[in-house]
Amino acid sequence: MNLSIKNVPEPVVQRLRERAARRHRSLQGELLQIVETAAREESGGNLAGFFAEIRATGLRTAADSVEIIRADRDGR
């Protein structure tokens, strides 16, 4: 399954890229790890609380995932 978060502010994206680099992961790998960790913390496999928490932060990503991937690759 593919998930998408739209309109994430650039400072948040940069912090996530830095976090991924510190862990020797791609941005995609780091995001997957964050989601997997959050999913494990949810009791009974219910992700409703997790997604509600994400929505409450107001984080968004750019609509064009190709642009995000290209910027990530160009930044290496």
- What is the share, in percent, of the chain residues with pLDDT greater than 70? 75
- What is the share, in percent, of the chain residues with pLDDT greater than 90? 30
Rounded mean pLDDT, 42-69: 66
Question: Model pTM?
Answer: 0.53
Cα 19 from Cα 58, distance rounded (Å)? 20
Cα 54 from Cα 10, distance rounded (Å)? 17
Rounded mean pLDDT, 19-38: 90
CA distances from 27 to 6, 7, 43, 52, 66 (A): 15, 16, 27, 23, 13
Q: What is the mean pLDDT of the chain?
A: 79
**Between 73 and 58, whose confidence is greater?**
73
Q: Quick one: pLDDT at residue 18?
A: 92
User: 43 pLDDT exceeds 50?
Assistant: no
